[in-house]
Amino acid sequence: IYERLTGEKGYFDTRVVFIDESGAKNARKKRLAIMDQDGANVRYLSDGRSIVLTPRFSPNRQEITYMSYESGQPKVYLLQIETGQRELVGDFPGMTFAPRFSPDGQKVIMSLLRDDGNSNIFAMDLRSRSTTRLTNSTAIDTSPSYSPDGSKVVFTSDRGGRAQIYVMGADGSGQTRISFGDGVYSTPVWSPRGDLIAFTKQTAGEFQIGVMRVDGSGERILSTGFQQEGPTWAPNGRVLMFFRDSAGGPKLVSVDLTGRNEQSIPTANFASDPAWSPLLE
Give the residue with greater pLDDT, 208 vs 37.
208
What gap in Å lies between CA 180 and CA 204, rounded to an integer? Answer: 16
User: pLDDT > 70: what percent of the chain?
Assistant: 95
- Output the pLDDT for position 6: 47
Cα 77 from Cα 143, distance rounded (Å): 16
Which percentage of the chain shows pLDDT scores above 90?
72
Task: Give domain limits for the chain.
Answer: 14-276
Instruction: Mention every residue, 6+ apart, whose C-beta is less than 8 A from residue 26.
Output: none
Per-residue pLDDT, 94: 74
CA 154 to chain centre: 12
As a whole number, mean pLDDT of residues 68-72 equals 86
Instruction: Provide the β-strand partners of residue 139.
Output: none
Pairing of strands 220-225, 196-203: unpaired
**pLDDT the model gives residue 153:** 98
Confidence of residue 278 (pLDDT cuts 50, 70, 90): confident
Q: Which long-range contacts (CB under 8 A, 24 or more apart) does 175-182 make?
A: 175/135, 177/216, 178/154, 178/212, 178/214, 178/215, 178/216, 179/212, 179/216, 179/219, 180/216, 181/219
Over residues 79-105, the pLDDT tens digits come to 999 999 999 887 777 788 788 999 999
pLDDT at 92: 76
> Rounded mean pLDDT of the chain?
90
Distance in angstroms (rounded) separating the CA atoms of residues 243 and 241: 7
> Do residues 18 and 271 make contact, with C-beta atoms less than 8 angstroms apart?
yes
Q: Which residues contact 69 (CB under 8 A, 6 or more apart)?
A: 50, 51, 52, 75
245 pLDDT band, cuts 50/70/90, is very high
pLDDT given at position 5: 47
Q: Does domain 14-276 have CATH number 2.120.10.30?
A: yes
